[in-house]
Amino acid sequence: MEMRDLQIFQCVAKYGSISKAAVELNYVQSNVTARIKHLEHELRTPLFNRHKRGMSLTAEARKMLVYVNKILLDMEELKQVFLDSETPTGILNIGTVETVSGLPKILASYHKQYPNVDLSIKAGLTEDLIKDIIEHRLDGAFVTGPIKHPLIQQYDVCTEKLVLVTRNETLNLEEFLTEPILVFSQGCGYRSKLEQWLKEEEVIPKRIMEFNVLETILSSVTLGLGITLVPQSAVNHLAANENVHVHAIPEEYGNISTVFIHRKDAYMTNSIQSFLQTIEANHECTVNPDKTSLSQS
């Protein structure tokens, strides 16, 4: 069994198609077909169900794919260990929730110091980004913390105040019975805090409206569509807008922590180590001493 056979198997499994896998791998289609047949003969079991719509994995092949993914990932990490130079290079895949204070400054500072690294930024919700880290789709991510997971290493980045944003100058809990709440989808840390607070107050909101863009949420609030809860830094630019007012919530729900995470067992390339150093150098928020400090990484 050769390594290229495992790569071909993984690619065909991904696309469910010999032709698409051949294009991805830059192989001729007959070669891909021959290698799959060779692998099936060697393992003495069919790996794919062939049908008009393409190819799907057999039950045995689904089990095999788990091992193949791990083997190929370990091989890639092994190459990184030996090829990683002192000067950070390559692609660094970073995830982030939408409202990380100071993120543009961190990215600009890192790019200026390490121009040979290509930064790829993916925005998402905390739960989705954690899954991407665990499944090796991201090198690191800024998420709402703290995170309790045996595979995750976290570093405290900052703690911010959460504020309610409304069009009304005053606010009482009864408004949640009449005004829609504008939030991100499930998996958002801010939404979770708001739901915890309202549950404690035994308040059931009239309506919850989900969005995936912060600016759309804030613009909708200024037009009187509803109420939202976001970090105060996210609304500082609206200070002069007379249609926006911010309100504090109880302290036990009013603080939100941002942490930077990566897999504990992932090889720490120079690129990711230097990224952690850049975060520390641009560290301007309040640090929670109960979490791992960046300087201890």
pLDDT digits (tens, 9 = 90+) for 211-233: 888 889 999 999 989 899 998 88
Which of left, alpha, beta for 276 (phi over 0: left; psi -120 to 50: alpha)?
alpha
Q: Is the pLDDT of residue 96 over 90?
A: yes
Rounded to an integer, the average pLDDT of 183-193 is 87
Residue 174 has a CB neighbour count (10 Å cut-off) of 9
Q: pLDDT class for 133, splitting at 50, 70, 90?
A: very high
Q: What are the residue ranges of helices labelled H in 165-237? A: 189-200, 214-222
Classify each residue of 99-135 as buried b or exposed e, where b means 16 or more C-beta atoms within 10 Å of its C-beta: bbbbbeebbeebeeebeebeeeeeebbbbbbbebbee
| pLDDT at 77 (0 to 100) | 72
The Cβ of residue 213 has, within 10 Å, a number of other Cβ atoms equal to: 11
Who's near 275: CB < 8 A, 6+ residues apart?
92, 94, 110, 140
pLDDT band, residue 3 (cuts 50/70/90): confident
pTM over 0.85? The answer is no
Residue 235: is its pLDDT beyond 80? yes
- H helical segments located in 26-125: 29-43, 59-83, 103-113
Asked if 209 contacts 180 with a C-beta cutoff of 8 angstroms, the reply is: yes
Q: What pLDDT, in 10s, does the model give residues 20-72?
A: 999 988 999 999 999 999 998 998 999 998 887 888 999 998 999 998 888 88
Q: How confident is the model at residue 150 (pLDDT cuts 50, 70, 90)?
A: very high
Q: What is the mean pLDDT of the chain?
A: 86
- Residues in contact with 130: Cβ distance below 8 Å, sequence separation at least 6, in sequence order: 141, 143, 147, 149, 152, 261
Q: Is the pLDDT assigned to residue 264 strictly greater than 70?
A: yes
pLDDT for res 295: 34
Q: Is the pLDDT of residue 291 over 80?
A: no
pLDDT the model gives residue 75 = 83
CA distances to 85, 89, 229, 252, 285 from 248, in Å = 49, 44, 10, 11, 19
Joined tokens for residue 134: 């665990």
Q: For residue 13, is pLDDT > 60? A: yes
Please tell me whether residue 182 adopts helix, strand or coil conformation: strand
Q: pLDDT tens across 161-172, in order? A: 999 999 888 888
16: exposed, middle or buried (C-beta count within 10 Å: 0-12, 13-18, 19+)?
middle
Cα 152 from chain centroid? 13
pLDDT at 78 over 80: no
**Length, in residues, of the chain:** 297
Residue 290 has pLDDT above 60, yes or no: no
